[in-house]
Structure 1
Amino acid sequence: MFLSDLPPPPVAAETIVVTAARGGEKRDKSPASISLIAPVTVERQGEPLLASLLRLTPSASLAVAGPAGSQSQVRLRGAEANHTLLFIDGIRANDPAAGNEPRFELLSADLADRIEIVRGPQSALWGSEAIGGVIALSAQPRDGASATAEAGSHRFARVGGSAGYRAGDLTVGIGAGVQGARGINAFAGGLGDRDGYRNAVLRGRLDRVTGPLTLTASGFGIAARSEFDGSDPATFQRADTADSSRNRLAAGRLGGRYEENGWTLSLSASRLGSRNRNLLADVEQNRTSGRRDTLSADVARQIGTAHRVTVAGEWTGERFTASDTVYGGFSNQRRKRDQSAVTAEYRGETGPLIATLALRHDAFSEFRDATTFRAGAFVTLGGGVQLAGSWGEGIAQPTFFDLYGFFPGSYVGNPELKPERSRGGELSLRAVTGPWRGAVTVYRQHLRDEIVASADFLSAVNARGRSKREGVELEAGWSGGERFNLSATYAYLDASEPAGRELRRPRHSGSVAADGALGRFSYGAALSYTGARLDRDFDLFPAPLVRLGSYWLGSARVAYRVAPTVELFGRVANAFDTRVVDVVGYRAEGRSVFAGIRLGAGR
């Protein structure tokens, strides 16, 4: 049976969100603002790269520097691109060798099929980088096997599959996929060479449950190549060049969980490694590599059914190296740092009220220690109406590139930088009545010591004063079971720094999405809006501000099951052939069409 044949989970069901609390939390009883993109939605929308689905989340601004496979940055609630913390199957996955940014351009739909987005500062739970919020990817366990093949415009091709097995106390799941495209000329100045990409992913997970003990082993690997138009080596201005990057990201995790008599003990160890190589006409120019080791232990005590106390300890060590072949070794670096943290969290429920408190202390090897706090409350008012609010703090260490990066004529790192700190709150009014749901959320955050470009744009400094992010989010949806499901979002954002308005953040954004199944047919369609934004044109001095126009993006996928385990489908992206420019000088693909086949058995 195809996943498309299964009804989506109820909107307000007891869906556990693993990143909203250290021990997980039910979505319909969380003070935090949460969006869930379920596996059935991922399949019906049919996007080969998961980042595109984030456009369906309020206050998630996606900026892609060219066609598919190009650098993709997500800014939650106006935060910086490296202020979103990414987990992949429980592994902290921000790339230490690429400015600690999540590598959204590398995340294929064969890597995961469930997306959690928790908006707002979460550092009291998860530490550094969780200023704008947390995004967690996972793959739901399934029995049987399935495979997909697809091809279309710009010589796009994709082959992928997954398989699952359950026997007694053992569950095993694996998935893999390869995709790529010849692409288009990313340079917005006219005709030129095409800039394409290739991406291969592999994931696996094993769980064994023996009475109160659960043992888990999981991991993933990503290998990708992306072609792009960079800068002329002589003038440092954007040009139609033969630049490319080769990226490797791999991680593994071992964990154990023991539950008995109201006590839960969890232990885990993980390692993530990355390597990034930049080439010009296939000649290596420079490379960076990073490694992150994490050890974590949680002890939780459930007191009755209403109270839970969790204490967690964590140690993280990061390593960073950089080298070049064209600058005489001036960019060479070998750095390391580590941090340890202790977190305490309380969750209590009494009648219609739920309260949460979290306190975390981080001890950094290279910076001053930091303590962060988070508090939340959730009240059921009756008649399906709920009121939720939270206040929290966030921190972000300067990245290795901020501190030590070097590119002649364009950037020199600043080892004197301090960590960024944020604090703010939100208030949300929610309603769930039958198949309908809706929410109105207002939020406000202030960021201190924001890391910004220096006056000459050749380095980075901590800005004086405070940066502001405040806005309103509207969400609505209707769940009609298997046949028809509808969701809509709108977000208003006012994001500014002491020097003026923040770049690449639209004031207005929104989306409408629908999916369902009828007989042998299944479908998914989405329409997203990105409002006007500001960017800088670094080809001109002194890098003047440029207005990027607003745009609508439409997509759709229709599938027909010709046999119990055979499905044919067609898909269209950028259906209205909109001109999309998220970064000055780079453009995305126009209207594109695709067709494919899906084979599957089990569920």
Structure 2
Amino acid sequence: MNFSIHPATLLAGVIVTHNVAGEPAPGDNIFVSAHRTPATRLEIGSAITTIGRQSIENRQSIFATDLLQDLTSLAVSRSSNFGSQTAIRIRGAEANHVLVRIDGIEVNDPASDDAFDFAHLTANDIDHIEVVRGPQSAVWGSDALAGVIDITTRRSTDRLNGSAFIEKGAFNTINSGIHVGTRSADSGMDLTVSFLDSDGSNISRSGTEYDGYQNLSANLRADVDLTCGLMFDGSLRHVDATKQFDAVDFATGLSADAERKMDTTQTILGGRGKLSLFEDAWVQTLRLTFMSTNNNNFTDSIRDMETAADKFAIYYQSTFNFDAGATTQSAQQITFAADYEGEKFEQRGMASAWGDPNQDQNINNTGLVGEYRVTGFGSLSFSLGIRYDDNSAFDNIATYRTTAAWRFDSLDSRLHTSFGSGQKSPTFTERFGFTPDQFHGNTDLQPEKSRGLDIGYEQYFSGGQIIADITYFRKRLEDEINGFFFDPSLGAFGMFTAVNRDGVSKSRGLETEVTVNIVAGLSTTANYTYTDATQPDASGQQQREIRRPRHMAALNINYDFPDQTHVNLNVSYTGEQTDNFFPPYPPFFENVSLDAYTLVNLTGSYALTNKVTVFARVENLFNTTYENIYSFATPGIGAYLGTRMRF
């Protein structure tokens, strides 16, 4: 069944619906990823979006991607059901152009082409998510060419407290978790453990085999605030997941049932010390992080490939607040930062006719950052940042970014803009290959380089209870890496390799967001994104990039009844997009179309007592058939029922 709603219909819903009163004022929200130091929404020139804890609970989503796919300019490609490889693209960029942080730790995986695989990120321990769109390399480095997704886990506000939940539903799915935490005046600790088990669904177009998934996740975070302006915090996160998946049938080029599975482990560890002196006039931070990932692939119960990566990083930052403690509302700030990142990549597999895939590689990078910010200078907030990267494998490179935000108090509006450059280093696979006679690496690759601009207008109505924003963006990317280029000069018969494209890849578009906060109990958010992303083909002509829908829209309506019942309706629209298909017959390549689709999810909950809540959810309410990746099927309608207890 196909169910489709035009995106204009979603936005029309905002005209007749309203949001919950009592939300924070527009300038009260603090963002930690738009600059090197925290900033309020009104001070930020970049385009930003956030999801709070209440919205996460209202949606009842199992995975973070179920939340992110409804945000402005975020295109989600999930190959099939639970645990399937999941990529997120911002404004038409590649998935590894998006930096992902969890509790301040960069988690992009060198073993996954420098992207973060969202497949295993469950949502139950997330407190809030920030998304900053546009080039952020000058602030955060290579992985932030197109934007940043910053995730903060739950942090207790009360003394010893806790909660537990369990739900069961479609595809024989059981999802459960527990959270315990404590907080005093100067310290706190939180521990979250969750377990998910599902038989899954059939991810190929044919066959009847279900592809299951298991996920055990644990997250620990703690902080202590000492005297004399000194504080420490740290976190430890571990994920152990197993997913079953299908292979591509070489006789048809399409997905087909197969006995394949992948065992994945992720360990993320980080600690930070922060020293504030002279009434916060001088603030220094030192952060150490370590990440280790391991992916084991099995075919018919035999391990045939393993990829693993370790990443160690140290970050130092020093911020001078020149107007700290002053009576004037304006403030100036200069931040200097230095970081070192060392990455190791390991690949193990069985040698075959395609060659020996075993390899060990490493790379390191040192970055220097400077950022100047002025806030409250009349109605203007402004920033200028520059970063210099010294890489062990590539030429040194500098990036920059400037942002500005103007408040027009008489009009209850704000103009925001940003302009900057970005860069993304080639991945280990692009540089060193997969197997010598199957995919040949190219050690002569150069980093991708971009320039991006956005300008937006934000209007407030009814004291900020209604907020509307429209933003225009455009980006130019040079030296884009084509990771599937056939070079007839390699080997005896030619091989695939990676090359820097000639010409310029382009992306431009329009983002609109509306939130409404008027009638108590009723809340609405809506957004629409138009994206035109193209790249040069062999002849130099611009062609549409794959897996980039031109049209995306989302509508979320939440109503809280006076009797502690709440209902949430979420509608998301993904427009037609293209993908690549490699059939076993000439010309061995086709550019295919993926149909547009609309997904409708309905959730509800009822508080039996102030400690016990029952909840229910229906996903894909109209049993829509759709594909995000050509020939890989996605789950149909699914219903879930659960209970949550607080203690």
When the two structures are superposed, what TM-score results if normalisation uses the length of structure 1? 0.96
Partner of 1:273: 292
The code of the aligned residue for 1:132 comes to A
Cα-to-partner distance string for 1:144-172 (whole Å, 9 max, x where unaligned): 10111011011111011211101231111
Partner of 1:3: none
Q: Residue 469 of structure 1 contacts residue 496 of structure 1 at CA under 8 Å; is this kept in 2?
A: yes
What pairs up with 1:138-287 in 2 under 5 angstroms? 138-142=152-156, 143=158, 144-188=161-205, 190-211=206-227, 212-232=229-249, 238-261=255-278, 262-287=281-306
Give the Cα–Cα distance (whole angstroms) in 2 for the partners of residues 366 and 412 of structure 1. 18
Give the Cα–Cα distance (whole angstroms) in 1 for the partners of residues 339 and 28 of structure 2. 29
Partner of 1:475: 513
Gaps in structure 1 of 5+ consecutive residues? 1-5
Cα-to-partner distance string for 1:401-431 (whole Å, 9 max, x where unaligned): 1112325875332222111111110000001
What pairs up with 1:434-583 in 2 under 5 angstroms? 434=462, 435-452=465-482, 453-455=484-486, 458-480=496-518, 483-499=521-537, 500-518=543-561, 519-540=563-584, 541-583=587-629
> Cα 1:115–1:155, aligned 2, differ >3 Å: closer, same or farther?
same
Q: Residue 102 of structure 2 contacts residue 153 of structure 2 at CA under 8 Å; is this kept in 1?
A: no
Cα-to-partner distance string for 1:543-571 (whole Å, 9 max, x where unaligned): 10000000001112100011110000110
Q: Residue 286 of structure 1 contacts residue 326 of structure 1 at CA under 8 Å; is this kept in 2?
A: no
Q: Residue 111 of structure 1 contacts residue 202 of structure 1 at CA under 8 Å; is this kept in 2?
A: no
Partner of 1:342: 368
Partner of 2:347: 322
Cα-to-partner distance string for 1:409-465 (whole Å, 9 max, x where unaligned): 753322221111111100000012221001010011000111112146822211000
Give the Cα–Cα distance (whole angstroms) in 2 for the partners of residues 235 and 187 of structure 1. 12
When the two structures are superposed, what TM-score results if normalisation uses the length of structure 2? 0.89
> In the alignment, does 2:32 pair up with 1:18?
yes
Give the Cα–Cα distance (whole angstroms) in 2 for the partners of residues 9 and 103 of structure 1. 32
Partner of 2:402: 375
> Aligned with 1:97: secondary structure?
helix
The code of the aligned residue for 1:535 comes to D
> Aligned with 1:331: secondary structure?
coil
Give the Cα–Cα distance (whole angstroms) in 1 for the partners of residues 628 and 216 of structure 2. 25
Structure 1 residue 594 displacement after superposition: 0.3
> Aligned with 2:93: secondary structure?
coil
> In the alignment, does 2:148 pair up with 1:118?
no
Structure 1 residue 235 displacement after superposition: 8.5
The code of the aligned residue for 1:454 comes to F
Partner of 2:7: none
Cα-to-partner distance string for 1:77-121 (whole Å, 9 max, x where unaligned): 000011110001111001111111111111011342311110111
What pairs up with 1:74-93 in 2 under 5 angstroms? 74-93=88-107
> Cα 1:11–1:555, aligned 2, differ >3 Å: closer, same or farther?
farther
The code of the aligned residue for 2:36 comes to R
The code of the aligned residue for 2:168 comes to A
Partner of 1:354: 381
Structure 1 residue 236 displacement after superposition: 7.4
The code of the aligned residue for 1:512 comes to L
Percent of residue pairs bearing the same amino acid type: 29
Give the Cα–Cα distance (whole angstroms) in 2 for the partners of residues 236 and 421 of structure 1. 34
> Cα 1:266–1:542, aligned 2, differ >3 Å: closer, same or farther?
same
Q: Residue 65 of structure 2 contacts residue 118 of structure 2 at CA under 8 Å; is this kept in 1?
A: yes
Give the Cα–Cα distance (whole angstroms) in 2 for the partners of residues 525 and 141 of structure 1. 27
Give the Cα–Cα distance (whole angstroms) in 2 for the partners of residues 342 and 517 of structure 1. 48
Give the Cα–Cα distance (whole angstroms) in 1 for the partners of residues 33 and 596 of structure 2. 32
**In structure 2, which of residues 38, 60, 64 is the aligned counterpart of residue 46 of structure 1?**
60
More displaced stretch, 515-524 vs 565-574: 515-524
> Cα 1:39–1:7, aligned 2, differ >3 Å: closer, same or farther?
farther
> Cα 1:563–1:410, aligned 2, differ >3 Å: closer, same or farther?
farther
Give the Cα–Cα distance (whole angstroms) in 1 for the partners of residues 565 and 120 of structure 2. 30
Give the Cα–Cα distance (whole angstroms) in 2 for the partners of residues 236 and 432 of structure 1. 52
Gaps in structure 2 of 5+ consecutive residues? 1-19, 324-329, 488-494, 538-542
Give the Cα–Cα distance (whole angstroms) in 1 for the partners of residues 406 and 485 of structure 2. 46
Alignment length (residue pairs): 595
The code of the aligned residue for 2:263 comes to R
The code of the aligned residue for 2:106 comes to R
**In structure 1, which of residues 579, 592, 595 is the aligned counterpart of residue 638 of structure 2?**
592
Structure 1 residue 244 displacement after superposition: 1.1
Structure 1 residue 29 displacement after superposition: 2.2
Structure 1 residue 282 displacement after superposition: 1.8
Cα-to-partner distance string for 1:159-199 (whole Å, 9 max, x where unaligned): 112111012311111111011211111012x2231112111
> Aligned with 1:454: secondary structure?
strand
